[in-house]
Amino acid sequence: KQVVFSAIQPSGTITLGNYLGAIRNWVKMQDEYSCIYALADLHTITVRQEPAQMRRNIIDAYASILACGIDVEKSLFFIQSHVPTHAQIAWILNCYTQFGELSRMTQFKDKSKKHADNINAGLFTYPSLMAGDILLYQADKVPVGADQKQHIELTCDIAKRFNGLYGNVFKIPEGFIPKNGARVMSLQNPLNKMSKSDENVNGCVHLLDSPEVIMKKFKRAVTDSDACVRYAEGKDGVNNLMTIYGAVTGKTFEEIENEFAGKGYGDFKTAVGEAVVEELRPIRERYERLVADKGYLAECYRKADEIAYKISSRTLDKVMKKVGFIK
């Protein structure tokens, strides 16, 4: 079986964007691939976190991902900071990643504008830690949203550079980006991606929002004055709602246009809201049960942490030997 690897940062609640862009594919890929997933908690401290809140976020995110349908009998789902090989390989890969390459990362440029008071070295070298995550498991495919494409390309460049120097150490991975849902935008500002840190709470739908809150957010979603449900340039708000509706129902843009021909945006927004409510309802119910059982969650991640350590150590040992470290 081919190997799939992906990870998510447990920084705040998981969004509809995370779900449609990535996690839904994590779930779908479980039967066909050997899947390895992680909570990238080391990545979250590139932005300052409050310790008690961070601990809660990690548990909430772990329970939420299981609630989405990650099955611990089929897939590994571990916590990055519990597996020391990640921090170890990140240091080594830092020494094979160029300053210029990291400077070109658009996420770094965006985040250093947003957190201008804390442009730390970790924020800058974040992509080499991410490359290490992927390369440790010799992953074939990496299911992510469109915003991670550049990081995956850099991962491939680092891997090829290393292989060029030392022989075939790393498998060259490939991004797996969904056709529909790869870039879910804010409901309030459809030119920005939907994100946990949206200043406008109505812009972002959280996985665990109640049905009432979800409906309210969709009813308030920004559209345009054209009053026609069609996918077209300049209709960013409507395009985004069509993307979400299509991703959830499996309908094509043409089918959606026909369904709402002659109808107003009110009907359309209600339909999108209802579809999302139904998609997320079972997840929220499973989450409530899972998060109440901290013992079970700990059992799940401890088992996965240990296996992830064994698998990743094989790659790390090889890397260290090739570079010239002694045992």
Distance of CA 97 to the CA centre of its chain: 23
Per CB under 6 A, the list member of 41, 60, 147, 279 interacting with ligand TYM is: 147
∠ CA(148), CA(193), CA(56), 5° rounding?
Answer: 75
If one asks whether residue 85 binds ligand TYM (CB under 6 A), the answer comes out as no
- Is there a binding annotation on residue 75? no
Both tokens of residue 293?
């059982």
Amino acid at 93: L
If one asks whether residue 22 binds ligand TYM (CB under 6 A), the answer comes out as yes
If one asks whether residue 68 binds ligand TYM (CB under 6 A), the answer comes out as no
Residue 151: name the closest of 177, 171, 170 by CA. Answer: 177
Is residue 216 flagged as an active site residue? Answer: no
If one asks whether residue 291 binds ligand TYM (CB under 6 A), the answer comes out as no
Half-sphere exposure of 204 (CA within 13 A, CB side): 20
Q: Judged by CB under 6 A, which stretch of 126-134, 163-171, 246-254, 316-324 contacts ligand TYM?
A: 126-134
Q: Judged by CB under 6 A, which stretch of 7-15, 46-54, 163-171, 293-301 contacts ligand TYM?
A: 7-15
Per CB under 6 A, the list member of 64, 93, 123, 133 interacting with ligand TYM is: 133
- Is there a binding annotation on residue 38? no
Per CB under 6 A, the list member of 27, 130, 136, 290 interacting with ligand TYM is: 130
- Is there a binding annotation on residue 193? yes
Report the DSSP beta bridge partners of residue 185. 193
Interacting residues with ligand TYM between 162 and 191 (CB under 6 A): 182-184
**H helices of 231-327, where?**
236-249, 253-259, 265-291, 294-323
Is residue 310 flagged as an active site residue? Answer: no
**What gap in Å lies between CA 96 and CA 50, rounded to an integer?**
32
Shortest separation between residue 129's beta carbon and ligand TYM, angstroms: 7
- Is there a binding annotation on residue 147? yes
- Is there a binding annotation on residue 145? yes
**What gap in Å lies between CA 179 and CA 159, rounded to an integer?**
26
**What gap in Å lies between CA 237 and CA 223, rounded to an integer?**
5
- Is there a binding annotation on residue 146? yes
Q: Are 282 and 47 in contact (CB under 8 A)?
A: no
- Is there a binding annotation on residue 294? no
Shortest separation between residue 152's beta carbon and ligand TYM, angstroms: 7
Which of 196, 219, 251, 318 is an active site residue?
196
Per CB under 6 A, the list member of 8, 90, 215, 222 interacting with ligand TYM is: 8
Instruction: List all residues 6 or more positions away from 244 whose beta carbon is below 8 Å from its beta carbon.
Output: 16, 20, 181, 184, 272, 276
Is residue 219 flagged as an active site residue? Answer: no
**Backbone angles phi and psi of 261, in degrees to 5:** -60, 130
Annotated binding-site members for ATP: 9-11, 17-18, 145-147, 184, 193-197
As annotated, the active-site residues are 111, 193, 196
Binding residues for ligand TYM (CB under 6 A)? 5-9, 17-18, 20-22, 40, 43, 130, 133-134, 142, 144-145, 147-148, 182-184, 193-194
